[in-house]
Every structure is written in structure tokens, then in C-alpha cells.
């Protein structure tokens, strides 16, 4: 597409609602009966995307929101149950104050602008991370959005905000230790299930697919416990360019993998798909 036309479409999509642009057909090669229930995404490359265009990093975050809309819409369209987006890590607080402030403002404005659409599209909003460390304006907006979307039954959109996986595991350990100290739990009763119950993600299944954009091959303190058996998909595309077709590419790639959970390939071939579980080591 001509670069000017492409930029015009990009501009239009930023200010109009993205659903109008999100009209591509689902590829026939995507098997809708074998989708992951839960996709987790590390949305990386906003800064580099902006820098490549001679723009400020914050411009990349704004464009990143358009990709968020595209991916949320596409997940709803194909029937994904859970989508976790790594929107702000605990380590991101160490970025320059102007960028942190811009990201928080963007978050508040996006939630405010999108909440009616989320409600209408049957998306239920959740937040994981150190909620209390967020600015009051963010907490207020997020709480309202969670309340407004609480009865929705479609896609569960989980925003990881001020999130650190090590922090999550440490907090879970502290809560379990407190129960042991009070005599409510004995050390022998601490199973994987008990640990999972104390994580932020206790209400959600583990992600079967984790996507990271922008050509970095790291987990970056994201869902370290929950990703134990996830398929990892790394894309070279910067997040602001990662849209519906890129998601379908990732899903098609996921469907070509053999998930063995510690078993042999022959065992898996003999097992019906419904009998394969993520926690079968």
C-alpha cells in the first residue's frame, strides 16, 4: 500500500473505532476447534517503532493501543476465552517520569473511551499486578470498568499492570507462610494447586500460547509459573504493527506444534486431545 494511504488509514483507525477496520476474514487454515483457551502477550517494540519514524516513544504507545483493539477484537471474533496483555511491568516504573506519566494517562483515557465498547462486545476486564501501586485515577477507572463489564461472559481481558512475576510468587509464598504460621495449613498440604490458588491468576487457566513481539527472546518477569507448558511464539514485528493477521499467523503456528507435556510423541498420538492436560507432567 502506498505509504501516504497507509498512514491515512493508520490515522483514521486511531481516531475512529478500530472495529470498522477489523473486518478481515478468518483464514481457512485456522482450525477454530483447536484454539488456545488463553493467550498471553508481551507487547514489545513501541519505542523502537516510534524511533524508526523519528517520533517520540509515546507515539509508539499510542499506536500500540490501536493494536490492542485489533487483537482484542480478533480474540473475541474467533472465541478465545482469555487474553492477558503485559501492559506495564513493575520494572517499567524505572522509566523516565514523562513516559510513565504518559503511559498512565493513556491507560486511563483508553479505558474510559473503550469501556462501553468492551461492555457491548461482551468483554470482561480483569487486572493483575500490584494494583495499589497504580495512580488513583487509574485505580478508579479500572475499578469502574471492572464493575461495568463484570457480568460479561465472552473474552476475559486481563491487563497485567505494575506486574512482576517474581513479586507475584513472593507474595503468594508470604500468604501461604502466614497460613502455616497460624496453623491453618501444614507444610505437607502445600501442593501445586495450593500455590496456584495464591497467585493473581487463580481464576484463569494457564496460557497455552505466549506471544512476544519485536524480536526479543525473553520472558521478562512475565507469568513465570503459569508459562511452564506454554508454547512460545516470537514475532519480529513491533507491537504497533502487530494486528489481526499477525495473530492468525501465531495461532496457525501454534496449531502446528505438538504439545507433549513431558510425554513421548507416540503417547500423545494415542491420546485423544481432550485427555491432554497442561498439568500432566
Tell me whether residue 121 or residue 176 sits nearer to ligand FPP (CB atom): 121
Beta-bridge partners for 211: 41, 233
**In angstroms, rounded to a whole number, what is the distance separating the alpha carbons of residues 98 and 111?**
20
Which of 22, 44, 121, 246 is catalytic? The answer is 44
Which single residue is written with the C-alpha cell 500423545? 268
Of positions 100, 106, 185, 268, contacts ligand FPP by CB under 6 A: 106
Tell me whether residue 22 or residue 172 sits nearer to ligand FPP (CB atom): 22
Of positions 47, 76, 129, 207, contacts ligand FPP by CB under 6 A: 47
The strand pair at 156-163 and 124-128 is best described as: parallel
Active site residue 236: no
Of positions 19, 92, 152, 221, contacts ligand FPP by CB under 6 A: 92
Return the residue nearest ligand FPP (CB atom). 47
Cα 130 to the chain's mean position, in Å?
16
Active site residue 44: yes
Question: Is position 87 an interface residue for ligand FPP (rule: CB under 6 A)?
Answer: yes
**In angstroms, rounded to a whole number, what is the distance separating the alpha carbons of residues 206 and 56?**
36
Of positions 21, 40, 43, 251, contacts ligand FPP by CB under 6 A: 43
Neighbours of 179 (CB within 10 A): 15
- Exposed, middle or buried, 226 (CB in 10 Å: 0-12/13-18/19+)? buried
Decide: 83 and 72 in contact? Cβ < 8 Å: yes
The strand pair at 209-212 and 231-234 is best described as: parallel
Taking the complex as a whole, the smallest distance from the CB of residue 240 to ligand FPP amounts, in Å, to 8
Which of 92, 109, 152, 221 is catalytic? The answer is 92
Tell me whether residue 141 or residue 206 sits nearer to ligand FPP (CB atom): 141
Question: Is position 129 an interface residue for ligand FPP (rule: CB under 6 A)?
Answer: no
List of residues contacting ligand FPP (CB under 6 A): 43-48, 57, 61, 64-65, 68, 85, 87, 92, 106-107, 110, 159, 239
Amino acid at each position: 500500500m502506498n505509504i501516504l494511504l497507509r498512514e491515512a488509514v493508520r490515522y483514521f483507525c486511531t481516531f475512529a473505532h478500530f472495529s470498522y477496520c477489523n473486518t478481515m476474514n478468518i483464514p481457512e487454515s485456522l482450525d477454530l476447534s483447536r484454539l488456545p483457551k488463553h493467550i498471553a502477550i508481551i507487547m514489545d517494540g513501541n519505542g523502537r517503532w516510534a524511533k524508526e519514524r523519528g517520533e517520540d516513544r509515546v507515539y509508539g504507545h499510542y499506536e500500540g493501543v490501536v493494536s490492542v483493539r485489533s487483537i482484542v477484537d480478533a480474540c473475541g471474533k474467533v472465541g478465545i476465552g482469555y487474553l492477558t496483555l503485559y501492559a506495564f511491568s513493575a520494572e517499567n516504573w524505572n522509566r523516565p517520569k514523562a513516559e510513565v506519566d504518559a503511559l498512565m494517562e493513556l491507560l486511563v483515557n483508553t479505558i474510559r473511551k473503550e469501556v462501553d465498547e468492551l461492555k457491548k462486545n461482551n468483554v470482561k476486564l480483569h487486572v493483575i499486578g500490584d494494583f495499589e501501586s497504580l495512580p488513583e485515577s487509574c485505580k478508579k477507572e479500572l475499578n469502574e470498568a471492572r464493575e461495568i463489564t463484570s457480568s460479561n461472559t465472552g473474552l476475559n481481558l486481563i491487563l497485567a499492570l505494575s506486574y512482576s512475576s517474581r513479586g507475584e510468587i513472593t507474595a503468594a509464598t508470604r500468604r501461604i507462610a502466614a497460613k502455616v504460621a497460624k496453623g491453618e495449613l501444614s507444610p505437607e498440604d502445600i501442593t501445586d494447586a495450593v500455590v496456584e490458588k495464591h497467585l493473581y491468576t487463580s481464576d484463569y487457566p494457564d496460557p497455552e500460547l505466549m506471544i512476544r513481539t519485536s524480536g526479543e527472546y525473553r520472558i521478562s518477569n512475565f507469568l513465570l509459573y503459569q508459562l511452564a507448558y506454554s508454547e512460545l511464539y516470537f514475532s519480529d514485528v513491533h507491537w504497533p504493527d502487530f494486528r489481526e493477521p499477525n495473530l492468525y499467523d501465531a495461532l496457525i503456528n501454534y496449531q502446528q506444534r505438538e504439545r507433549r507435556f513431558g510425554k513421548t510423541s507416540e503417547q500423545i498420538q494415542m491420546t485423544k486431545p481432550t485427555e491432554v492436560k497442561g498439568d500432566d507432567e
